[in-house]
Structure 1
Amino acid sequence: MGKYGDWLIMLIAGSIIIYWLYRVFYRWLHEPPGVNSKLLLSEAEDVNDEDDNVRYLEANGYDVTHGKYRVPITIDLDGEELYSRLFIDMIAERDGKHYVVKTARDRMPIDWTGSGVRDRLLVYALLFPECEGVLFVDQRERIIKTITFHFSDTNQ
């Protein structure tokens, strides 16, 4: 190549590398928090194939990908540390969409009003924003409810 050919190739290669670095940084900067939360789920328990809820979900076309998972929470209350945890019963997938699964509990019935659903299930949708929604499974009643939360800027 001539005197300018080497510089042209270096300029093109450098431009491609700079553009690639810009795209990686831009994607990292604008991705929603929690996108890498699937890494957290590597610590989830194995799926119990004998569980009635798992069998009911699978019979209805869902693939249960992760079992029970505990999310530890540290709370600072006026300088005093409190500890708690949040339990996720399962993560299921259907048609390439992921769902956080909560199962019905006799001792914790859900109030099927807007505020009742919000108080019990919104935290799971916020914890995993990449999930499509929350599935509430009551295999004894043969119910699978799909809950999605949509945020608007108007007061209703």
Structure 2
Amino acid sequence: MGKYGDWFVMLIAGSLIVFWLYRVFYRWLHEPPGLHSKLLLSEAEDVREDDENVLFLEQAGYEVTHGKYRVPITIDLDGQILQSRLFIDLIAEKDGKHYIVKTARDRMPIDWTGSGVRDRLLVYALLMPESEGILFVDQKERTIRTITFRFG
């Protein structure tokens, strides 16, 4: 290659590097803040080994890795600041896959229809998209339901 061929190759290589750096910066700039599961789970409570839901999950072959966690939410409603929170009951792992665990409550029964499951559990799948799904544990009925959401 001649004198200009070397410069042309360097220009192409430099352009690719600049484009790649731009894409990395753009992706970092536009990802939601504070939703990284490692940071989220670092503040979780310790797992209570005597909890009946933990024992039930362990009997089913799951390893409970994190305890209860409260996710604080700040809501701006027409300039008025409101506070709320979401509760993750447990985080479990099986075969290298992580699951968010929600436990059944008598005062909050779930409607097992598409819209009922969506309204009650979709927010957890969106909160931690890298999880494999959601486990709904009903200790009284001795059932563990696995819920996954697919979009599109």
TM-score, reference length from structure 1: 0.78
Give structure 1 regions of 4+ aligned residues with deviation exceeding 6 angstroms. Answer: none
User: In 2, are the aligned partners of 1:103 and 1:138 still within 8 Å (CA)?
Assistant: yes
Alignment length (residue pairs): 134
Residue 29 of structure 1 and its aligned partner are, at CA, apart by 2.4
Counterpart Cα distance in 2 of 1:102 and 1:32: 26
Q: Per-residue CA shift, 1:93-128, capped at 9, x if unaligned?
A: 111110000000000000000000000000000000
CA RMSD in angstroms comes to 2.4
**2:108 equivalent to 1:108:** yes
User: In 2, are the aligned partners of 1:35 and 1:129 still within 8 Å (CA)?
Assistant: no
Residue 28 of structure 1 and its aligned partner are, at CA, apart by 8.2
Q: Which runs of 5+ in 1 are unaligned?
A: 1-14
SS in structure 1 at match of 2:130: coil
Structure 1 counterpart of 2:114, one-letter code: G
Match of 1:88 in 2: 88
User: In 2, are the aligned partners of 1:74 and 1:82 still within 8 Å (CA)?
Assistant: yes
SS in structure 1 at match of 2:57: helix
User: In 2, are the aligned partners of 1:35 and 1:130 still within 8 Å (CA)?
Assistant: no
Identical columns (%): 71
TM-score, reference length from structure 2: 0.80
Q: Which runs of 5+ in 2 are unaligned?
A: 1-12
User: Matches of residues 108-147 of structure 1 in structure 2 within 5 Å?
Assistant: 108-147=108-147
SS in structure 1 at match of 2:74: strand
User: In 1, are the aligned partners of 2:35 and 2:127 still within 8 Å (CA)?
Assistant: no
The answer to which of 37-46 and 82-91 deviates more is 37-46
